[in-house]
Structure 1
Amino acid sequence: MADDEKILIAQFLRANDYAETLKSFLSEAGLPPDAGTTSKDGLTLEKLLQEKRAFDISADFEKLATNDTKGWRQPAPAVPTAVSLPTSSNILNAAVIARIHADGSRNDVLWSSAADRSVNISDPATLETLDTSRNNEAPVLSVAQSSRYLLHGDMAGNIVLSETQSRAVLDKRKDHRKYVVRVATYETSDGAWVATAGWDATVFVYWLRQDHASPSLGSPVGRISLLSNPEAVLFVLSAENTRPVLLVSRRDSTFIHYYRLPDIGNSPGAVCDLELLGRQNLAPHALSWVSFTPADMALCPADPSLIAVATSSMPHMKVLIVRLLFPTKDAATAVQSWASGESSLAVSSVGENTESSTMDVTSRARAELARQNREEAAILISCNAMAPQTQYSTPVVVWRPDGSGVWVSGDDGVIRGIDSASGKIVTKLESHESGSKIRCLWAGMVSGQQAGGGNEWLVSGGFDQRLIVWKQVE
């Protein structure tokens, strides 16, 4: 035993009045009679135990890869360029969209919306304004593209379908009663699925046919009524299915919910409640009832079975990289059994066959533990992004186009880059005002003159009223 350790033990015995034990210990350890009267740098056994507990909590909070291989690829966007906008207002959303012309050609433009209800179109080459619109009914919160069509949802509950080239409005619906916070699309050979999430605790699904002369959204073909407001929606396709499923996360729930899309051929024009196929817990062994909400989800561009999740955890954002556990064919039956499991278990326990009831409880407990273990193993990365958050934050996560990492927002004006292989923060981008909220992020390739199909960009907008394009170091 080292001398420092002996001194700590002697100090502990002296502080707690173990006089006889202290005397014997000093004699056997060969220490002077006054050993343990002081502690170097104030170090005590209690402090060591406190530090050990803090380390254990931190280790449980983070789940990092054990290999040293870094997925983060260089060069990464790091050079900021501020976009000059015709209005000054908080930036709500931004994205690079492709304008598709009648001859099939396309060119990218930078699209952004602000709190003053304006929508601005900028030239990616010069970042100068090409077009500005201020006649929107309400500020635009979310946007998604499907082929040559653009869909956006606003704070009035509207969903607007327009052309990317002419910006002509083709359809406008108001099925939501409150904010439309998310719009997601999934293209197929004969049309596109569209999902919208509103703060009326409802998700609507539309079928957009793209072969019509005058396309329109029409009435919703599917609906999900939730117990709380939805946070994120995402279409995903498993290797076994030909039709995508819809992922939904909602407030005050740690689950990702899987929903089956409707068969529009059997009941055209009818609005049906989507069938819940299954759900996946992102905190399977959590002791608290709700530890966080999956506030944003992004599909990995390099692996369609992998998603990144930005959570609502406080005081800092927790980022997860999760393998999707797609429901099996019997998952819907299992979900229904789970929903009625409590009542059926209660009935069986009242019966005369006590041994059978006990076996039923045991089998259910084993099945639940096995499910929790599978869900835990599906969480590949769980890390603290150190991005400050409050209950009013809007977490955002986006993938780099090669899947080597993710970018996450923060309420301190800092954008953090996280390595998808190790879960470590590898870079911080600081050009927004310190302490300002980053409201939106977009990451992807932008077409340019260079070989290789374009340049990697990161676009950020915040409550400092700044829209910034981050480019790679040349």
Structure 2
Amino acid sequence: MPALDSSALLVARFLRSNGYEKSLKTFLEEANLDEKSLDLGPGGGLTIEEVLDEKRQFDLSLALEKVAISDNDEPEFSIPYPSIPHIVSDPGIPASNVLFVSVADIRTLGGPSLLATTADRALRIYTARAPYKLLRSHTHLHPSAILCCAVLQSKWLISTSMSGHVVISDAASGKVISSDKPHVKYAVKVLAHDRLPYVVTSGYDNTIVLHSLTLGDEGTPKLSELHRLQLSAHPEGMSFVALPTGEEALVYSLRDSTFLHYHLLAPSLPVHSKRNLAPTAASWVTFHAMSILPHLNGSSLLGIVTSSVPHMKFLLVRVDSEEVIMEVFTGAPQSAYSTAVFGWRVGGDGVWVNGDDGVVRGIERKTGKVVARLKASEGGEKVRTLWTGIVDGREVLVTGGFDKGIKVWVPEGVAA
């Protein structure tokens, strides 16, 4: 006998209760159902009307949730926010698509530094404060374009590239300390843990590699492969998180999958859990997480932006659970080739998300509303990368993209 909530039973009972006898007879034959199976006894089974009512209640609860999703004392999208752009450029450098930007403290270069990688294989370092002077231009690190970069001990750089290489170099001198190829192609992300001796890289060869980080005899960093995850699809979003148990973990997503995968941060990357975000998401649009970042206040919240055509979604979820607290359609247009990225505002009251239309959108965490729009590309070219944080005590947003430009955004009334 079919389950009481079987779709076939629901349709058959609807036809019988509404007097569609001819249609019912034909449907029972085609669905291979016995008419006796429609008699479910007292209180048995759902009706189509009840299913529709459940759907209406579900939609209403989501609408209410977006109005009051969190504590009443949660801050709004604070003002002033970064909105005044300052162009970072050097007349002697040919323009090229910007693939990655970040800001880090590099002591050997005098403090906060802006890192940018471009399609011409270069990794350039500028001062992170006006007049954004070019400090270094390294074009020899990789045989292909650099996709991601992390800083170690305010001195060393770990960079990954389209060719699958992972390179450690001296930020100031550009000296290559080591060059390995743990991925067949497209080493897209690198994470360096700030307290544990681990570095994680991911590639479009369907692998994630955990490396140990040690210091050699001369004090130079060295990577050694500890464990390799062979995956069923391309890894996309990836982040370190603290689990509710207090354990450190790696969380990642896969292309065309609504699951988040959690592995404990240990030499063998043991599997911890696998959480599906789709059952509690507000819509049934196919998506996968493209970028994952824990909330800045140390709580058990994850921000996620998705690949979901035609528009990016922002999700706020509980760590190591399937609870989706917020789901927002950002209005940022996407295609199958989009690379969604975002950054938390320094107070955690909102996020900045990129867009294929050249616009960076500010989303308020409390309401889920898009409350700010920054035209990062005058010609509407894709914003490929962004970074958010504090430089010299002020909130800063850095953007880069296919208009071949880098912009540093500061709040109105704040010196560049």
1:386 aligns with 2:331: yes
1:457 aligns with 2:396: yes
Q: Give the 3 Å change call, closer, same or farther, for CA 218–431 of structure 1 in structure 2.
A: closer
* Alignment correspondent of 1:430: 375
User: Once the 2 structures are TM-superposed, how far is the Cα of residue 192 of structure 1 from its aligned partner?
Assistant: 2.6
For residues 39-50 of structure 1, the aligned pairs below 5 Å read none
User: Once the 2 structures are TM-superposed, how far is the Cα of residue 146 of structure 1 from its aligned partner?
Assistant: 2.9
Q: Distance in 2 between matches of 1:287 and 1:321?
A: 12
* Alignment correspondent of 1:217: 222
SS in 2 for 1:284: helix
Q: Distance in 2 between matches of 1:415 and 1:434?
A: 14
2:147 aligned to which of 123, 138, 141? 141
8 A Cα contact 2:213 2:224, kept in partner: no
* Alignment correspondent of 2:235: 230
From the two aligned structures, give the one with the greater strand fraction.
2
Q: Give the 3 Å change call, closer, same or farther, for CA 285–390 of structure 1 in structure 2.
A: same
> CA deviation digits over 1:305-357, x for unaligned, max 9?
211101011111010011202xxxxxxxxxxxxxxxxxxxxxxxxxxxxxxxx
* Alignment correspondent of 2:11: none
2:180 aligned to which of 156, 173, 183? 173
User: Once the 2 structures are TM-superposed, how far is the Cα of residue 187 of structure 1 from its aligned partner?
Assistant: 2.1
> CA deviation digits over 1:360-416, x for unaligned, max 9?
xxxxxxxxxxxxxx62xx222111100000011000111112211100010000000
* Alignment correspondent of 1:87: 94
SS in 2 for 1:64: helix
SS in 2 for 1:321: strand
* Alignment correspondent of 2:300: 305
Letter of the 1:173 counterpart: D
Q: Which has the larger radius of gyration?
A: 1
Q: Distance in 2 between matches of 1:61 and 1:252?
A: 27
> CA deviation digits over 1:437-474, x for unaligned, max 9?
01000000113xxxxxx221100001011111101112
Q: CA RMSD in A?
A: 2.6
Q: Distance in 2 between matches of 1:139 and 1:162?
A: 16
Q: Give the 3 Å change call, closer, same or farther, for CA 305–286 of structure 1 in structure 2.
A: closer
* Alignment correspondent of 2:194: 187
Q: Distance in 2 between matches of 1:58 and 1:168?
A: 59
User: Once the 2 structures are TM-superposed, how far is the Cα of residue 260 of structure 1 from its aligned partner?
Assistant: 1.9
Which deviates more from structure 2 when the two are superposed, residues 115-124 or residues 251-260? Answer: 115-124
8 A Cα contact 2:376 2:383, kept in partner: no
8 A Cα contact 1:151 1:162, kept in partner: yes
User: Once the 2 structures are TM-superposed, how far is the Cα of residue 133 of structure 1 from its aligned partner?
Assistant: 2.0
* Alignment correspondent of 1:366: none
Q: Distance in 2 between matches of 1:295 and 1:146?
A: 25
> CA deviation digits over 1:196-231, x for unaligned, max 9?
010000000111124853434333101111100000
TM-score by length of 2: 0.78
Letter of the 1:179 counterpart: Y
Q: Give the 3 Å change call, closer, same or farther, for CA 178–59 of structure 1 in structure 2.
A: farther
Q: Distance in 1 between matches of 2:125 and 2:371?
A: 32
User: Once the 2 structures are TM-superposed, how far is the Cα of residue 261 of structure 1 from its aligned partner?
Assistant: 2.7
Provide the identity percentage: 35
From the two aligned structures, give the one with the greater helix fraction.
1
Letter of the 1:178 counterpart: K
Q: Distance in 2 between matches of 1:109 and 1:389?
A: 31
SS in 1 for 2:79: coil
Q: Distance in 2 between matches of 1:404 and 1:147?
A: 29
> Which runs of 5 or more structure 2 residues have no equivalent in the other structure?
1-54
Q: Give the 3 Å change call, closer, same or farther, for CA 180–285 of structure 1 in structure 2.
A: same
8 A Cα contact 1:61 1:383, kept in partner: no
2:348 aligned to which of 403, 407, 410? 403
Q: Distance in 1 between matches of 2:121 and 2:385?
A: 16
8 A Cα contact 1:294 1:310, kept in partner: yes
* Alignment correspondent of 1:117: 121
Q: Distance in 2 between matches of 1:297 and 1:62?
A: 25
Q: Give the 3 Å change call, closer, same or farther, for CA 419–394 of structure 1 in structure 2.
A: same
* Alignment correspondent of 1:284: 279
> CA deviation digits over 1:416-439, x for unaligned, max 9?
000112111110001313431010
Which deviates more from structure 2 when the two are superposed, residues 247-256 or residues 231-240? Answer: 231-240
Q: Distance in 2 between matches of 1:390 and 1:72?
A: 28
Q: Distance in 1 between matches of 2:65 and 2:328?
A: 6
User: Once the 2 structures are TM-superposed, how far is the Cα of residue 130 of structure 1 from its aligned partner?
Assistant: 1.7
- Structure 1 ranges of 4+ moved more than 4 A: 56-63, 67-70, 285-290
TM-score by length of 1: 0.69
1:296 aligned to which of 291, 294, 308? 291
> Which runs of 5 or more structure 1 residues have no equivalent in the other structure?
1-52, 264-271, 326-373, 448-453
Q: Distance in 2 between matches of 1:442 and 1:167?
A: 23
2:112 aligned to which of 108, 114, 126? 108
* Alignment correspondent of 1:199: 204
Q: Distance in 1 between matches of 2:314 and 2:284?
A: 19
Q: Distance in 1 between matches of 2:301 and 2:360?
A: 22
Q: Give the 3 Å change call, closer, same or farther, for CA 288–216 of structure 1 in structure 2.
A: same
Q: Distance in 2 between matches of 1:151 and 1:130?
A: 18
For residues 63-74 of structure 1, the aligned pairs below 5 Å read 64-66=66-68, 70-74=75-79
User: Once the 2 structures are TM-superposed, how far is the Cα of residue 57 of structure 1 from its aligned partner?
Assistant: 7.2
SS in 2 for 1:253: coil
Which deviates more from structure 2 when the two are superposed, residues 428-437 or residues 91-100? Answer: 428-437
